[in-house]
Structure 1
Amino acid sequence: MTTVGIRLVEGLIARGIDTVFGIPGVHTIELYRGLAAAGERIRHVTPRHEQGAGFMADGYARVSGKPAAAFVITGPGLTNTLTAMAQAKADSVPMLVISGLGRSDTLGKGLGRLHELPDQGAMVATLCHTETVTDPKKLGDVLDRAFAAMTSGRPGPAHIQISTNMMAQPCPELPPPVVAGSTVPLPLGRIRSIAAALNAAERVVILAGGGIRGSEIHLQKLAESLDAPVIQTVNARGAMFRHRLSVPASPSLTPVRQFIADADQILAIGTELGPTDYDMYANGRVPNLSDMIRIDICADQLARHPAKMPVKAEAGAMMAALLPMTIRANREGPERAEALRQAARAELANLYEPMPAQLDMVEAIRDAMPNSIIVGDSTQPIYAANLYYDHDRPRGWFNAATGYGALGYGPGAAVGAAIAAPGVPVVCLIGDGGLQFSPGELRTAVDEKLPITYVVWNNAGFREIAEALRQAKIEPILGCDPSPLDMEHFAMACDMLYACVPQDPDELADMLATPQDGPRLLEIQVR
């Protein structure tokens, strides 16, 4: 008999899913029957915590550009995954979470059954699209709607839940998938008006966000045509590595804000203008952007900030349409961009004296391991680099220190990234505090024999938070000094190579250049 669980896995494969991250349980046994039947057509990876399953799916999607799936049990399995789903929602990452559900004849009755929740679907619906399989004949429709929700317009997570008694029901063969998504028509009249406004300006500035991922070549060509510096948020870094018009700096920095304020035309592309990029220090000094031209795939986003010319459009298509209408002119873009790069980098020391040295360590990683993927957690060098850092690979720099800001993101996301890009070196840069949120995921990296280097910034506590408390004139005596792991013995327990590296860029680079076989842990003991 071919069951719903088997057909579900077949439906995932038909829609391009090749990897599932999950922990089997009594509420997902029939889904695992489907995985077993699929054999080598789909890969299963076992995290050590359901939150890790979600973070792995997130890292996989960011690097590959396509969704991955997570299988979790009902109740605690799903609630553990919600944090990762919220991170994916904040950063527009497609992720499909498929969870079990109690027997359909017991739902909502409060019988005290294993893993019971009052209304699991309603809980998830506050965050993202959710579906319940109630009829085997409609399983294909459920999958089509979930994939459309994940990938049409602004990407994000989606959820499907299936009762344990439904998973084992006979299920007919699924129809071919409906192609998710539809092309957003380009407003030709508005394009001409936008091109005219850009051509008439003398100091054009482009604000690029994560919505430009996959369209880096269009961004570069449009910037060159307009001779316009491109300020990139965290999720756009790597789009224009060392390009003469690239400004890989946060709009929260004072020189960048002044540069934006001095522009006579702003073109914002695929950026939600969120505070963790544009007002990191919550001082409310964001320049007035109401005269901007704004391109975004999401109508809700466009409605959240006033703009002179808001356009709902896919970023790459819109930039390609604008390009032949723009007039090449000398606006001294490279000179303006270079001056801003120097001012922005110099600003780091004014904010916090150790920041330039922290940035040096991140750049040492990039230069020692070119074309690698750096996955970050909320730790001091990540915060410094989010303010100013240029990466050498599109989709190669991402972290959870913006947006939702889930601590412990890095270890799992690095596993997903490494699986999505076989053979590409992956670095997880994480603090000693963040590592203790999800240490078990390093064992998954060992099981999967992944070339991940875990660089642990060990400052023996939550020093970033301690500094924030001091700035608020609060003595950080409570909660900021949790004892760190003994990293050498922890690495030994994980069967990983270990080395202790001083806070010196050259010595870190030398250690990173050493060939590796499988994952390793490098500890930087911060002075």
Structure 2
Amino acid sequence: MTGAEALLGQIMANGVDTIFGLPGGQLDYFFDAMHKQQDKLRFFCSRHEQGAAYMAFGYARSTGRVGTYTVVPGPGVLNSTAALCSAYATNAPVLCLTGQIPSKGIGKGIGYLHELPDQLATMRTLTKWADRAMTPEAAPGLVNEAFRQMLGGRQRPVSLEMPMDIMANGAEVALLAAAQIPAPPALDTDAVDRAAEIIAAGGRPIIIAGGGALSAGSDVERLARLIQAPVVSFRSGRGVVSDRSPYAQVFPAGNDLWKDSDVVIAIGSRMEQQYLYWGIGPAMKIVRIDIDEREFDRIAAPDVALHADAGDAVPALIAALERRGVSPRSREEELVELKHRVRRQIADQVQPQFDYLDAIRRALPDDGLFVDEITQCGYASWYTFPVYAPRQLINCGYQGTLGYGYATALGVQAAHPDKAVVNIVGDGGFMFTANEMATAAQYQLPLVTVLFNNNKFQNVQRQQKEWFGGRLIASDLTNPDFVKFAESFGIRAERVSSPAALEAAVKAALERRAPTLIEVPTPDMASPWPFIIRPPVFPEGCK
């Protein structure tokens, strides 16, 4: 088989059946290999490399499975790196497959098409692992190593490249069985017992659930009920415990609870908000569960560190607490009242975002997926939009990659062809990947996109007004007629001007099962930040 066939065959041996990408000279043999496997493989061709990578990111974020994309080297792979940064920030298993210049020219600076000074070194700074296959025979082993690195321990993106001439070369190649993913670290039972002692001795515990708890949702809620602890999440941890549970609390509610909490159980969370901005109380005890032991001392050492997968550590912790017979009084009434109070505060102060997000939530089925964007409604959704299961609210984490949302949502829809997916965008961010409406139309991906348009980068303009005396620069935007723009791709589009009209439009679009754009012209929106950037609870305890 050719090098390209060996590369693709081993990727498919590891369960990949969907690839996003863009063709080009150094990938000709790889695309021919995909053509031969098209009865077993779905391929989505994007209109820009960033779109392909964001689609793979959305696929990975919404499924927990590997999202794969392929692009040409040099400018092609560099165009995709914002999505790789987002995948790194959110621990998403994304596989970047890229070509290379002819093998004889690597490192010589001859000036081959798409040549970089050292592409492999560049990719190693952006991913968990990167390597290069220099023979067809090497491809299966390197592919399996890529999967071991990507899926073992803390999941993160990886990159594998192959020169164009190696992709063309034929050789006798034996494909391998799927990679054996390293087992998570063994539980330290003594550490579990120490953690249980601290929790049992506390009176008002609080759980901080991050993206590392996504696979342990039912156990996290069991722990919460057992110790009567609220479960607070910000972005990636939303849905670990359903917002219908009294124990699930949004970020600003967690800030309110923080002042009276004496034991903190952080599960798969960096806890940077609490360490850096809320402050650690003088009597607080911290228990952390994380699969990445480097996280424990990154800001400050916890009282007990459990280096483990949350799916192993949380049940063990529950068992240790049950052996101690813990039985605290119920806090459900208190927590339900807090949920309602905070939601009323948000509804009063964060408008019109609250009403529009509420309309979308009513229109979206319980099992639907919601993809945010770096926009005023997107920020508000982190603590406003109810989420009922893990991986239902897709975001880009701390990277804040403006413009990521639309292409990412197409990847989410490709991963879930039978589910409802709604994406919100702002007029600024949408223009980053609006060209991917061509992809939505070509593959008839039934994504419903809600575009909030106030003809500006409002966050930037708000800061220019508040911080710089109203000296505005580059924050007002000139936009197309978005309805006509979408229609030019063959996508149904309309314009609505109220939450009620938006709810009806989203419901109708979801029933049609066709790509749709709904524009919502808006005035300036209220700042969402007072519910995110909170005054320190313990100023002296900020790290």
Same fold (TM over 0.5): yes
Query: In the alignment, is the contact (CA less than 8 A) between 1:88 and 1:95 conserved in 2?
Result: yes
Alignment-derived partner of residue 504 in structure 2: 510
Shift in Å, 1:324: 2.2
1:308 alignment counterpart: 303
For 1:237, the equivalent position in structure 2 comes to 238
CA contact (8 A) 1:256 1:344 kept: no
Deviation at 1:517, TM superposition (A): 3.3
Q: CA offsets, 1:24-64, max 9 Å, x none?
A: 00011111121112121111101111111111001101112
Alpha-carbon distance between aligned partners in 1 of 2:326 and 2:384, rounded to the nearest angstrom: 29
Match of 1:135 in 2: 135
The one of 410, 425, 440 equivalent to 1:430 is: 425
Identical-pair percentage = 28
Shift of 1:175: 2.2
In the alignment, which residue of structure 2 is the partner of 1:394? 390
Q: Distance in 2 between matches of 1:135 and 1:393?
A: 44
Q: Which of 349, 353, 368 is 1:372 aligned to?
A: 368
Gap regions ≥5 residues in structure 2? 524-543
What's the secondary structure of 1:105's corresponding residue? helix
Contact 2:8 2:30 in 1 (8 A): yes
Task: State the Cα distance separating 1:329 from its structure 2 match.
Answer: 1.9
Larger deviation: 440-449 or 43-52? 440-449
Q: Is the 8 A contact 1:233 1:248 kept in 2?
A: no
Deviations 1:366-399 (A, max 9, x none): 1111121111111111111213332133211012
User: Does the 8 Å CA contact 1:458/1:484 hold for their aligned counterparts?
Assistant: no
Report the equivalent of 2:5: 6
* Post-superposition CA distance 1:249-307 (Å, at most 9, x none): 22xx4x533422321111000011245xx59xx8x443459731000011111221321
What is the Cα deviation at residue 66 of structure 1?
A: 0.5
1:449 equivalent to 2:448? Answer: no
Count, aligned residues: 513
Secondary structure, counterpart of 1:317 in structure 2:
helix
Classify the secondary structure of the residue corresponding to 1:451.
coil
Residue in 1 aligned with 2:214?
213
| CA RMSD after TM alignment | 1.9
Following TM superposition, by how much is the alpha carbon of 1:476 offset from its aligned partner in structure 2, in angstroms?
4.6
Deviations 1:91-115 (A, max 9, x none): 1000000101111111122222211
Whether the aligned pair in 2 keeps the contact of 1:59 and 1:415 (CA below 8 Å) is yes
Q: Which residue of 2 aligns with 1:286?
A: 279
Q: 2:399 aligns with which of 381, 392, 404?
A: 404
Q: So what's the TM-score if we normalise by structure 1? A: 0.93
In structure 2, the residue matched to 1:260 is 258
Structure 2 CA distance for aligned equivalents of residues 238 and 356 of structure 1: 23
The 3 A distance-change label for structure 1 pair 511 and 231 is same
Residue 519 of structure 1: aligned partner: 515
2:34 aligns to what?
A: 35
Instruction: Show the 5 A alignment for 1:352-363.
Output: 353=349, 355-363=350-358
Is 1:338 matched with 2:336? Answer: yes
Aligned equivalents of 2:8, 2:408: Cα separation in 1: 23
Separation in 2, partners of 1:332, 1:388:
25
Give the AA of the match of 2:131. Answer: E
What is the match of residue 166 of structure 1? 166
Q: Determine the structure 1 residue equivalent to 2:526.
A: none
Report the Cα distance in structure 1 between the residues aligned to 2:122 and 2:209, rounded to whole angstroms: 33
Q: Secondary structure at the match of 2:433?
A: coil
Amino acid aligned to 2:290: D
| Structure 1 residue ranges, 4+ long, deviating more than 6 angstroms after superposition | none
Check whether the contact 2:244–2:388 (CA below 8 A) recurs between aligned residues: no
Q: What is the rounded CA distance, in whole Å, between the counterparts of 2:319 and 2:389 in structure 1?
A: 27
Q: Deviations over 1:421-451 (max 9, x none)?
A: 1210111100011011111112211111112
* Letter of the structure 2 residue corresponding to residue 22 of structure 1: G
Q: TM-score, normalised by structure 2?
A: 0.91
Q: Determine the C-alpha separation between the residues in 1 that align with 2:340 and 2:513.
A: 39
How far residue 220 of structure 1 moved from its aligned partner, in angstroms, is: 1.2
Structure 2 residue aligned with 1:194 = 195
What residue number does 1:125 align with? 124
Deviations 1:205-225 (CA, angstroms, capped at 9, x unpaired): 000001111221111111111
Q: Which amino acid aligns with 1:273?
A: M
Paired amino acid for 2:123: V
Q: Is the 8 A contact 1:27 1:74 kept in 2?
A: yes
Which residue does 1:299 correspond to in 2? 293
CA–CA separation in structure 1 for the residues paired with 2:471 and 2:289: 43
Deviations 1:483-512 (A, max 9, x none): 12211111111211111111x322211112
SS at match of 2:160: strand
